[in-house]
């Protein structure tokens, strides 16, 4: 039997993951291949742009990469969510005067410098005096003077040019509309059919918003709540509890909050999600200047580095890889920043500043013990045997000093874990005995570059094997040099 070349599937050399958005600049198979080789662990398919046929081709190309490189890759399908927009103008645009009055009403006729239609009846009668309306990503800022069922009279705190169908943000009120539109339902059905590993839900304001998406997913894929509305922050714990992961979507957060409010909120969301043992992604404008420039600014490098120091599971590239001029370079730079940060002797101390006390369960106690053993004894890796991925999440929550080799019989689980901190997942045949577990763990550790002859490894699993939630076994083993040769091809 011909031996496979496993050198191309060795671990990345960093624990934080990179999520890159596909688009016109990156959807071709060769560019996807370059991005993967540069360091991408998961690809985001933005359902706000493009059609299903194009997305299907992109997904097929990503799955082909899995076969070529023998590494599970997560596909993250990001739903657009509802978009609040103004109507149209007589000349396609108008100028709102600074400190002048401007009215949003239900009249469908084209607007002018004094008024425009707001085709969202749910907002009338909802807004109150003093609340804000932000138009065109906050470039125009209105303050409500009065509101009734037919019109909303505002004062323009910041005026400027307004044009057809510009977006509207309402940061001070919980808007009584669902997080999913009819387009989102169709996109979700497509994503599930395509085998998407993660679904990103936009416009989440309350935990109930996750219920419909969860039902339509039918148990397929993991659900990521995008935190982009200030209203969501008020019920953050409940939203995290009902999701499988969280994204700090700093785009809309940065519009609806004051700029200085976003950094501490980012840290708060990261910490709360980590405490619950779920992956958290930091997204939007991480290397924004690299849309046009081959090099980032120093501020952007610090931004990425801070997210890594905070212990985020993944950092995301948006337009940098979707439509930018330097997609491969953006991934390469992000990879280099993450590797450099994780080599800092203060890194481990920083990511462990968050106290993650173990729950009173055997699984949590053993996961904590993995961290302690790796800090005390020279350990090359923690090998985790899991079906659902829950054991891997428990170990990752502790932020151990060594990488985690996750062995699972489920390709679905292996793909989801591509967004989990510190993991290198391998889909492999299930095990049936303790002896088989140790032999396979040693063999896979050697094969995937997690140690060499004489290295010590932790094996974590549950007995009886194949029983979800039964993690109750921790074993420290020493790798043997001829282990791989004796079992090659098995």
Nearest to 210 by CA among 221, 201, 219: 201
In the CATH scheme, what is the homologous superfamily, with its name and number, of domain 93-169?
PK beta-barrel domain-like (2.40.33.10)
Q: For the residues 461-470, what does the mean pLDDT come to?
A: 76
Q: Domain map of the chain by residue range?
A: 14-81+179-345, 93-169, 362-487
Q: Which residues contact 188 (CB under 8 A, 6 or more apart)?
A: 77, 79, 180, 199, 213, 216, 217
- Which helix H or strand E contains 154, and what residues bound it? strand 151-158
Q: Which residues contact 417 (CB under 8 A, 6 or more apart)?
A: 72, 74, 389, 392, 406, 408, 423, 425
Contact 326, 294 (CB under 8 A): yes
Is it the case that residue 238 has pLDDT exceeding 50?
Answer: yes
Which residue do the tokens 């749910």 mark?
122
Class of the CATH-defined domain 362-487: alpha beta
Q: Give the model's pLDDT for residue 480.
A: 87
Side-chain half-sphere exposure of 91, counting CA atoms within 13 A: 7
- The band of 484, judged by pLDDT with boundaries at 50, 70 and 90, is low
DSSP 352-382: TSS--PPPSSHHHHHHHHHHHHHHHS--SEE
Sheet (strand 404-408) strand order: 423-427, 404-408, 381-385, 456-462, 471-478
Contact 464, 436 (CB under 8 A): no
167 secondary structure, DSSP code = B
What is the longest distance spanned by two Cα atoms in the chain? 81
* Percent of the chain whose predicted confidence (pLDDT) is above 70: 96
What residues are labeled active site?
44, 85, 226, 284
Contact 154, 104 (CB under 8 A): yes
Residue 143 CA from chain centroid, whole number: 33
Q: Return phi, psi of residue 36, to 5°.
A: -65, -45
- Strand 132-135 to strand 168-169: parallel, antiparallel, or no bridges (unpaired)? antiparallel
3-state SS, residue 434: helix
What confidence tens digit (pLDDT) does each residue in 150-191 have? 999 999 999 999 999 999 999 999 999 999 999 999 999 999
Is it the case that residue 2 has pLDDT exceeding 80?
Answer: no
CB atoms within 10 A of CB 199: 26
Q: Give the model's pLDDT for residue 463.
A: 79
Nearest to 153 by CA among 88, 114, 104: 104
- Own/partner long-range contacts of 140-143 (Cβ < 8 Å, ≥24 apart): 140/96, 140/166, 142/102, 142/104
What confidence tens digit (pLDDT) does each residue in 184-211 have? 999 999 999 999 999 999 999 999 999 9
DSSP 244-304: SEEEEEHHHHHHHS-GGGHHHHHHHHHHHHHHTT--EEEESSSSGGGGT-SS--HHHHHHH
Q: Give the model's pLDDT for residue 39.
A: 97
Side-chain half-sphere exposure of 466, counting CA atoms within 13 A: 5
Averaged pLDDT score across all residues of the chain:
93
In the CATH scheme, what is the homologous superfamily, with its name and number, of domain 14-81+179-345?
Phosphoenolpyruvate-binding domains (3.20.20.60)
- By CB atoms closer than 10 A (0-12, 13-18, 19+), residue 106 is middle
* Percent of the chain whose predicted confidence (pLDDT) is above 90: 89
CA 125 to CA 150: how far, in whole Å?
8
Q: Give the model's pLDDT for residue 488.
A: 40
- The band of 8, judged by pLDDT with boundaries at 50, 70 and 90, is low
Side-chain half-sphere exposure of 374, counting CA atoms within 13 A: 25
- Which helix H or strand E contains 338, and what residues bound it? helix 327-343
CA distances, 328 to each of 34, 61, 324 (Å):
7, 17, 10
- The band of 343, judged by pLDDT with boundaries at 50, 70 and 90, is very high
Q: Give the model's pLDDT for residue 337.
A: 98
- Cα distance from N-terminal residue to C-terminal residue, the chain: 10
Is it the case that residue 115 has pLDDT exceeding 80?
Answer: yes
Q: Give the model's pLDDT for residue 1.
A: 31
CA 457 to CA 373: how far, in whole Å?
10
Contact 422, 403 (CB under 8 A): yes
- Which helix H or strand E contains 385, and what residues bound it? strand 381-385
What confidence tens digit (pLDDT) does each residue in 425-450 have? 999 998 888 899 999 999 999 999 99
Q: Give the model's pLDDT for residue 483.
A: 56
The three state secondary structure string of 439-463 is: HHHHHHHHHCCCCCCCCEEEEEEEC
Is it the case that residue 124 has pLDDT exceeding 60?
Answer: yes
Coarse DSSP helix, strand, coil percentages of the chain, rounded to the nearest 5 percent: 40, 20, 40
- The band of 3, judged by pLDDT with boundaries at 50, 70 and 90, is very low
Structure token pair of residue 427? 């889909």
Q: For the residues 358-373, what does the mean pLDDT come to?
A: 93
CA 198 to CA 205: how far, in whole Å?
19
Q: Give the model's pLDDT for residue 229.
A: 92
CB atoms within 10 A of CB 72: 25
Is it the case that residue 471 has pLDDT exceeding 50?
Answer: yes
Nearest to 187 by CA among 322, 372, 49: 49
């Amino acid at each position: 039997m011909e031996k496979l070349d496993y050198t191309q599937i060795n671990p990345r050399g960093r624990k934080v993951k990179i999520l890159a958005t596909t688009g016109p600049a990156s959807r071709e198979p060769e560019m996807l291949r370059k991005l993967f080789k540069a360091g991408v662990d998961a690809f985001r398919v933005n359902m706000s742009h493009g059609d299903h046929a194009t997305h299907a081709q992109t997904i097929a190309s990503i799955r082909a990469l899995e076969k070529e490189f023998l590494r599970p890759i997560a596909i993250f399908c990001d739903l657009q969510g509802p978009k609040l927009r103004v109507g149209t103008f007589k000349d396609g645009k108008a100028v709102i005067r600074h400190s002048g009055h401007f009215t949003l009403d239900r009249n469908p006729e084209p607007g002018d410098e004094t008024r425009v239609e707001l085709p969202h009846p749910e907002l009338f009668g909802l807004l109150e005096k003093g609340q804000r309306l932000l138009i065109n990503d906050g470039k125009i800022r209105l303050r409500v003077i009065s509101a009734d069922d037919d019109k909303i009279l505002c004062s323009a705190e910041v005026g400027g040019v307004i044009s057809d169908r510009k977006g509207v943000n309402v940061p001070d009120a919980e808007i009584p509309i669902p997080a999913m539109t009819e387009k989102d339902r169709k996109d979700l059905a497509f994503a599930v059919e395509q085998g998407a590993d993660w679904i990103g839900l936009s416009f989440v304001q309350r935990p109930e918003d996750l219920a419909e998406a969860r039902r339509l997913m039918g148990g397929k894929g993991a659900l990521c709540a995008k935190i982009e509305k200030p209203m969501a922050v008020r019920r953050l714990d409940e939203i995290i509890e009902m999701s499988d992961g969280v994204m700090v979507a700093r785009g809309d957060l940065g519009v609806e909050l004051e700029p200085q409010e976003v950094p501490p909120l980012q840290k708060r969301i990261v910490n709360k999600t980590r405490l619950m043992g779920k992956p958290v992604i930091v997204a939007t404008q991480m290397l924004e200047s690299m849309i046009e420039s081959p090099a980032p600014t120093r501020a952007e490098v610090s931004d990425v580095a801070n997210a890594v120091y905070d212990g985020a599971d993944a950092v995301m590239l948006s337009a940098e890889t979707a439509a930018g001029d330097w997609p491969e370079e953006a991934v390469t730079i992000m990879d280099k920043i993450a590797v450099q940060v994780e080599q800092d002797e203060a890194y481990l101390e920083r990511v462990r500043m968050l106290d993650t006390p173990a729950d009173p369960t055997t699984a949590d106690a053993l996961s904590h013990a993995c961290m302690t053993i790796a800090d005390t004894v020279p350990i090359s890796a923690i090998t985790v045997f899991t079906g659902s991925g829950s054991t891997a999440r428990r170990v990752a929550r502790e932020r151990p000093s060594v990488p985690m080799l996750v062995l699972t019989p489920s390709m679905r689980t292996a793909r989801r874990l591509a967004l989990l901190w510190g993991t290198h997942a391998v889909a492999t045949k299930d095990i049936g005995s303790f002896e088989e577990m140790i032999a396979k763990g040693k063999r896979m550790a050697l094969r995937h570059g997690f140690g060499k002859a004489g290295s010590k490894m932790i094996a974590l699993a549950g007995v009886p094997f194949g029983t979800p939630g039964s993690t109750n076994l921790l074993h420290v083993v020493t790798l043997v040099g001829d282990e791989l040769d004796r079992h090659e091809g098995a």
